[in-house]
Amino acid sequence: MYPVMLSLSGRPVLVVGGGEVALRKIEGLLAEGARPTVVAPEAVPEIEGLARRGEIELRRRPHRGGDAVGFALVFAATDDRDVNARVFAEARDAGIWVNVADDPELCTFHLPARVQRGALQLAISSDGGAPFVVRRLRQMLERRLGPEWSEWMEAASRFRQRVRALEVPGPARERRYDAFFAASVDVDRLRARVPRPPRSTGGSRRAPATGRVGRTGARRATPPR
């Protein structure tokens, strides 16, 4: 499997099925800004509620041929493997990526487990072969990676923008990135510390220093004379 991160903002996605598994797919899609259409003769109350609020389109009927046309992705999440197989075949033949819940043989892509801290995302996958392992690894990382990683990721993004603005050669950029990482990450404990914002360089072409690391209450480093 080739890992990718898809931007689904504003993209139409088909979900066939109206149960709890389908609901989890729909909630994940809505969180990423997708536009889900659900096809199911019956749906759990939560899906009905999303339809009433206009957050999804709900077609209250069984799946039929041609439903997959026009969608960027297709999910099948019914409790009938024959229906799921038909959804898979139709999407595959139309060149549309399709995922069938809990049936890795009927998938052209798999959904990894995710650990997310702000813009930082870690994806864990077993290519559908051992989902119980993936789930436990996700739980382990959820415990190990604290909420400070979200703020750290924002600081790393700002630092990258400042370094790129200097227009220094690639090796020099990498040395600055190495320094930022070494100053702000405890690799043994999987902990992040947000660096103190650097003092203004006054237009200097030197790279901004990462400064001392730590949280509130840290003493400031004495600036060079």
Question: 150-186, pLDDT tens digit by residue?
Answer: 999 999 999 999 999 998 899 999 999 999 999 999 9
Query: What pLDDT does 199 receive?
Result: 55
- Residue 177 lies in domain: 146-216
DSSP code of residue 58: E
Note the pLDDT of residue 215: 41
pLDDT of 129 > 90? The answer is: no
> Is the whole-model pTM more than 0.95?
no
36 lies in the same domain as 17: yes
Q: Is residue 131 part of a domain?
A: yes
Beta-carbon contacts of residue 173 (< 8 Å; ≥ 6 apart)? 163, 164
- Interatomic CA distance for residues 16 and 101, integer angstroms: 10
26, 36: one domain: yes
Q: Are 37 and 13 in contact (CB under 8 A)?
A: yes
Residue whose pair of structure tokens reads 């024959």 in the numeric block = 82
Alpha carbon dihedral 29, 12, 78, 44, in 10-degree steps, equals 60
In terms of domains, do 118 and 180 share one?
A: no
Number of structural domains in the chain: 3
Residue 205 belongs to a domain? yes
Q: pLDDT tens, 58-105?
A: 999 999 999 999 999 999 999 999 999 999 999 999 999 999 998 989
DSSP string, 73-131: EEEE--S-HHHHHHHHHHHHHTT-EEEETT-GGG-SS-PPEEEEETTEEEEE--TTS-H
| 222 occurs within a structural domain | no
CATH code (residue 100): 3.40.50.720
27 and 98 both lie in a single domain: yes
- Residue 65 neighbours by CB under 8 Å, 6+ apart: 86, 90
